[in-house]
Amino acid sequence: MWGSCRGGEGREGLRLTPDVAGNLLRSPALLHPPLLHPVLPAHAFPSPPLPSSTTPQPTPAHRLLPVFNFIHPVPRIPVPSPLLSRTETQAVKWAEAIVAEALPQRTNIRKEDPGKLSQVGYNAGKLNRPAFHWAKNLTGRKRDVTAVAQMDVKCSSVFALLWQMVRSRLPKEVINDFDTFLTQLGIRRMDGSGQMASEGSSGTYSVVLGDATFDFHNVELAPPAGIFGQNYSRGIHFEYQPHLFGLAWTLSCNKGPDAGGNFFMAKYGLRIEAAANALVFWMPREWHGTSLLDHSPYDAAPDFIQRGAAIVTPNRIVS
């Protein structure tokens, strides 16, 4: 993973920091790529191959350099401007609380990586039983049907708020990309498993700010699929989606960028510092990744908390 090798004493003369190239595997003592093997600089990453089928063949997520060829300095993008104004930080706290509540109730789709990602919205079902339906990824067997339905609406409302904000703030090329995907496919929106839809792509969602609840009627709901995440990191990789761009809204980050969790666009040599209430959009089919966080993934109650939501779509959902 992209990172910077910093001074100081440590194992074999190199002090490990969250942005040193690497990703923690099952053993806490094992880093990947190995110690003292930084990842290739941006210009050396090959373009990802075109998928040969609906399930692309796995490709290496990194390339290694000899011990003495450390990566070039990575330009740093300062903390992004807040997605919401300071007077609207209650909305961020509301969204973050929903993510924190929803994640323990849902399974992890990336068990091989540190942290957790959970699907929200619609998916394509199991490989052996494909079907377009609301994600069935709840943990445990004892479930309160009413509570589950309420949580589906709250999760969808987080994405509806995100979708409404980005439509007015992002470049038209990004929004047009999503609109083309949604229009050509004629796919359902993230509607709380049918509870929020009114007509076509429109529906009703609610945002709670303090003691007040604000209802928004007949507005365009978010694309059908998304993910919630906490303390997630992954080495430089690429992936294909049925649309060109992905969107990620970091809701909380209680430590500075030196503690890791930064986002990398390897093709352009960019590191975007982790920050609460910040939006990043990128092309998932280009090399990207998130650096290791400064805590053990085996810690059940880490002092580093970074949570967020992303609008991304699995390729299988269109088939």
Instruction: Determine what percent of the chain is predicted with pLDDT higher than 70.
Output: 72
Of residues 48 and 159, more confidently modeled: 159
Of the pLDDT bands very low, low, confident and very high (cuts 50, 70, 90), residue 152 is: very high
Residue type, 238: F
How far does CA 115 lie from the centroid of its chain? 11
DSSP string, 133-161: EE---B-SS---HHHHHHHHHHHHHHHHH
pLDDT of residue 151: 96
For the chain, percent of residues with pLDDT exceeding 90: 40
**b/e 83-109 (16+ beta carbons within 10 angstroms → b):** bbeeeeeebbbbbbbbbeebbebbebb
221 closest CA partner among 153, 277, 169: 153
Q: What is the model's pLDDT at position 44? A: 41
Q: 104-113, 141-150, 256-265: which range is least confident on average? A: 256-265
pLDDT tens per residue across span 217-235: 999 999 999 999 999 988 8
Contact 183, 220 (CB under 8 A): no
Residues 35-59 have pLDDT tens digits of 333 333 334 444 545 555 544 444 3
Using the structure block, give the residue that is written with the tokens 């998130």.
290
At 179, the pLDDT band (50, 70, 90 cuts) reads: very high
Q: What is the pLDDT of residue 225?
A: 95
Q: Please state, in angstroms and rounded to a whole number, the distance separating the CA atoms of residues 224 and 189.
A: 4
How confident is the model at residue 81, as a pLDDT? 54
* pLDDT of res. 8: 30
150/83 Cα distance (integer angstroms): 26
Residue where the block lists tokens 């609207």: 88
- Residue-level pLDDT at 305: 92
Average predicted confidence (pLDDT) for the chain: 76
Whether 247 has a pLDDT exceeding 80, the answer reads yes
Per-residue model confidence (pLDDT) at position 287: 87
pLDDT for res 66: 29
Query: Which pLDDT value is given to residue 128?
Result: 76
Between vectors from CA 281 to CA 268 and to CA 275, what angle results, nearest 5°? Answer: 90
Confidence of residue 195 (pLDDT cuts 50, 70, 90): very high
Phi, psi of 215 (to 5 degrees): -100, 135
Regarding predicted confidence, which is higher, 128 or 197? Answer: 197
Q: Give residue-wise pLDDT tens across range 265-278.
A: 887 778 888 889 88
CA atoms of 41 and 2, how far apart (whole Å): 8
Answer whether 1's CB lies under 8 Å from 32's CB: no
Closest CA to 163 of 40, 79, 247, 256: 247
Distance between CA atoms of residues 182 and 163, nearest Å: 13
Look at 66 and 288; give whichever has higher pLDDT. 288
- Break the chain into its structural domains and give their ranges: 74-319
Sheet holding 76-77, edge to edge: 76-77, 270-272, 263-265, 288-290, 234-237
Strands 116-125 and 130-134, by their bridges, are: antiparallel
Q: Does domain 74-319 have CATH number 3.60.130?
A: yes
* Paired residues of 207 in beta bridges: 214
Residue 85 confidence (pLDDT)? 59
pLDDT digits (tens, 9 = 90+) for 76-107: 555 555 555 554 688 999 999 999 999 999 99
Q: Please state, in angstroms and rounded to a whole number, the distance separating the CA atoms of residues 226 and 113.
A: 18
- Do 61 and 2 meet the contact criterion of CB atoms below 8 Å apart? no
Tell me, what's the pLDDT at 79?
53
Per residue in 9-30, pLDDT tens?
A: 332 333 333 333 333 223 333 3
Neighbours of 202 (CB within 10 A): 15
Whether 2 contacts 21, CB under 8 Å: yes
More confident residue, 108 or 71: 108
DSSP-based three-state secondary structure for 152: helix
Across 57-66, 131-140, 171-180, 299-308, the highest mean pLDDT is recorded for: 171-180
pTM of the predicted model as reported, rounded to 2 decimal places: 0.75
pLDDT at 31: 35
